[in-house]
């Protein structure tokens, strides 16, 4: 399958004519175009940088064939659209647009004791690629490609390095990078590399670029 990197946490996956998008949020300038091109949208949690509620609502109105998956905290606002939206939890499995999806995870990583932890799920796609949302949950099976958040109020370099070691992917691709300058991203890549803390290097994929995974 092909992975297209969009800004921040959003990626598109394309295979055999099917296309899904994960986490088109308000930090993704082309989110409207991303959603319009997708057969299905997968949302990890309801924070605005991962989930543009107004955009998704308009897309559901305009495209009856669009499918949206996410935690109940995301999709319950569209209770009348049960044919279009599906609430998912850990261990759920489904097929959409030719992709096999396994759901894992439960909660967003802690930010601060005064900030409640929202529901957060990760998506294992075709037993090859894992998008964790905002958490360091280990996927339910070994993966070739791990999408790794590198910035945000909850991320920590040490935990990220240990997470990569535990998952042990063949490829590590940066997401959730918008709070880092280019210098900051390159600094993270130096730490997350065989020369420092991890066996696999961090790939910094520019917005709009495509790789095969």
pLDDT of the residue at 82:
85
In this structure, is the dihedral angle defined by the CA atoms of residues 115, 92, 213 and 33, taken in order, positive or negative? negative
Alpha helix (H) residue ranges in the chain:
31-37, 53-62, 72-75, 157-167, 182-191
Torsion on CA atoms 18, 22, 26, 31, rounded to nearest 10:
-10
Which residue has 């294992």 as its token pair? Answer: 124
Q: How many CA atoms lie within 13 A of 137 on its CB side?
A: 26
Q: pLDDT tens digit string along 103-114?
A: 999 999 999 999
Q: pLDDT tens digit string along 30-44?
A: 999 999 999 999 999
């Amino acid at each position: 399958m092909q992975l297209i990197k969009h800004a921040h946490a959003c990626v598109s996956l394309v295979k055999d004519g099917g296309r899904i998008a994960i986490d088109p949020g308000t930090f993704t300038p082309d989110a409207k175009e991303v959603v319009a091109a997708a057969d299905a949208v997968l949302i990890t949690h309801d924070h605005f940088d991962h989930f543009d509620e107004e955009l998704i609502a308009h897309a559901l109105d305009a495209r009856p064939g669009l499918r949206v998956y996410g935690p109940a905290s995301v999709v319950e606002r569209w209770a009348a659209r049960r044919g279009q939206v599906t609430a998912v939890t850990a261990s759920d499995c489904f097929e959409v647009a030719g992709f096999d999806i396994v759901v894992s995870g439960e909660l967003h990583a802690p930010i601060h004791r005064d900030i409640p932890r929202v529901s957060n799920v990760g998506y294992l796609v075709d037993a090859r690629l894992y998008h964790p949302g905002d958490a360091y949950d280990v996927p339910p099976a070994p993966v070739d490609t791990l999408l790794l958040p590198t910035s945000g109020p909850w991320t920590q370099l040490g935990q990220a390095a240990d997470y990569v070691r535990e998952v042990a992917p063949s490829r590590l691709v940066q997401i959730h990078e918008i709070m880092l300058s280019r210098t900051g991203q390159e600094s993270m890549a130096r730490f997350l590399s065989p020369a420092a803390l991890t066996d696999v290097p961090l790939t910094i994929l520019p917005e709009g670029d495509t790789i095969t995974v």
